[in-house]
Structure 1
Amino acid sequence: MSDKPFAAEAAQFGQAMNSINYSQVVEAAVRDYKRDVMDKQPQAGGKTMHQVVAMDDLMEDEELQKLHEDRIARLKAEREKRNQQAQKGHGTYGEISEGDFLEIVTQTDFVVVHFFHREFERCKIMDKHLQPLAHKYFNTRFIKVSAPDSPFFTVKLNIQMLPCIVGFSKGVAVGRITGFEGMGGRDDFPTSVLEDHLLVMGVITLPERNREDEDRTDGPGKNVRKSSHFSKTASDEDSDFE
């Protein structure tokens, strides 16, 4: 008799045993998983307590509704404030007359004023840096004033060298940048250098998304002077203003 029928039966038997072993392994894994889940469930009176949360019920929660209403009210207030600021010129950088200077400075929380001369090349360079900062720091008003056309405030603020940037906080001059002092003595300084100076003055504040990154650094503008008195430097000779 041939051995082939027995070989076929042996193969079938082996397959059956493999299936049984696989099933037992799966069942054991299921039991282990179920036991692990049951162990993590809180027990009360010997019975497993299952916490079921219905999202519809959460939407009717008074505390959640109050949080939602507060957020909506805050967003509306911020939008209204931004609209009012936009009407006053926030987000833009432009020239104003001497007659508008006092009103803007005294009625705006933070103002950056650039006293300039139309023929001074460095004043034009400063304009290029102030323009993007005006868009970035919407809560601060950025303006420029022609020094020759504003003799009263030029004298009162002791503007003797241009370009000159004066920072105001609630109507009080809190600092200034004269010429390119603190800019590395170069005409191609990055905008971030001027930005750091204004941050140290306190006339601009970092947007919310940047504050965490700023906390991980040594802080901006460590070499910026807060004093409103600056000495004349050789690099500013071409910008002397009398």
Structure 2
Amino acid sequence: MDNQAVEMISKVLEESVKVVEEQVDAQLSQLNKIDEDELEKLKERRLEALKKAQKQKQEWLSKGHGEYKEIPSEKDFFSEVKESKKVVCHFYRNSTFRCKILDKHLAILAKKHVETKFIKLNVEKAPFLSERLRIKVIPTLALLIDGKTKDYVVGFTDLGNTDEFSTEMLEWRLGCADVINYSGNLMEPPTKTQKSGSKFTKVEKKTIRGRGHDSESDSEDD
């Protein structure tokens, strides 16, 4: 094969390689463009979700979420519950020291879980409501969703039967009732270690009306 033929073949091969390279570059460019477009769409969706979440948070805050507050009467209870999807109401009495223990934990959770309204009501100012909801043990937490009472936390039985339960333990218990958005494991309490003499009571999700004997009671339990 003479030099001229070799040169022609080499030229053809170079042109072929060049064409292939251009095709590959074009395909890569197209892929990069698709990736950039998808990335931009993801950013837009993420931004929209953040805006929606912020709007929802502002709506909750405008309804009194984000703080643990006392309502003055049982009449106010109905309006408070009506305007919020999820509500935790602490029925308390000033003379019951365990109510003050709950106050501390509920104030912390109110700030953390703005999706839920946290309120407290003195049972002495709410005779009709206490009778209607069968509030007999003090303290009792009524857990409401869509205006209906779905569950109760009565005394500290579900919290380990100890005055020294953690905020995380109460948070878990409220999560079991779906009254807060709980991100942990609902199958087990946040800790299994308690001081001697105390014992956990396993709580199934959506347990309806527990009963406790470690707190002050107005009358005999059912």
Task: Confirm or deny a common fold (TM above 0.5).
Answer: yes
Alignment correspondent of 2:139: 163
Count of residues in correspondence between the two structures: 187
Deviation of residue 66 (structure 1)?
Answer: 4.3
Alignment correspondent of 2:52: 77
| Contact residue 200 and residue 220 of structure 1 kept, 8 A | no
Q: Deviations over 1:216-235 (max 9, x none)?
A: x84448712612152x52x2
Whether 2:138 is the aligned partner of 1:138: answer no
Q: Deviations over 1:192-233 (max 9, x none)?
A: 221111111110112xxxx4xx35x84448712612152x52
Alignment correspondent of 2:14: none
Whether 2:64 is the aligned partner of 1:89: answer yes
Q: Deviations over 1:38-97 (max 9, x none)?
A: xxxxx9976583435898x67984x55544433333222221221121111111001012
Larger of the two Rg values belongs to structure: 1
Alignment correspondent of 1:121: 97
| Contact residue 142 and residue 153 of structure 2 kept, 8 A | yes
Q: Mapping of 1:1-20 within 5 angstroms?
A: none
Q: Structure 2 unaligned runs (5+)?
A: 1-16, 191-200
The whole-number CA distance in structure 2 between the counterparts of 1:103 and 1:218 is 34
Pick the aligned partner of 2:159 from 183, 189, 196. Answer: 183
RMSD, aligned α-carbons: 3.0
Corresponding letter in the other structure for 2:161: G
The whole-number CA distance in structure 1 between the counterparts of 2:48 and 2:20 is 47
Corresponding letter in the other structure for 1:224: V
Identical aligned residues as a percent: 32
Alignment correspondent of 1:223: 202
Q: Structure 1 unaligned runs (5+)?
A: 1-42
- TM-score, L = length of structure 2: 0.72
| Contact residue 95 and residue 145 of structure 1 kept, 8 A | yes
Corresponding letter in the other structure for 1:176: Y
| Contact residue 90 and residue 120 of structure 2 kept, 8 A | yes
Corresponding letter in the other structure for 2:202: N
- TM-score, L = length of structure 1: 0.67
Whether 2:88 is the aligned partner of 1:112: answer yes
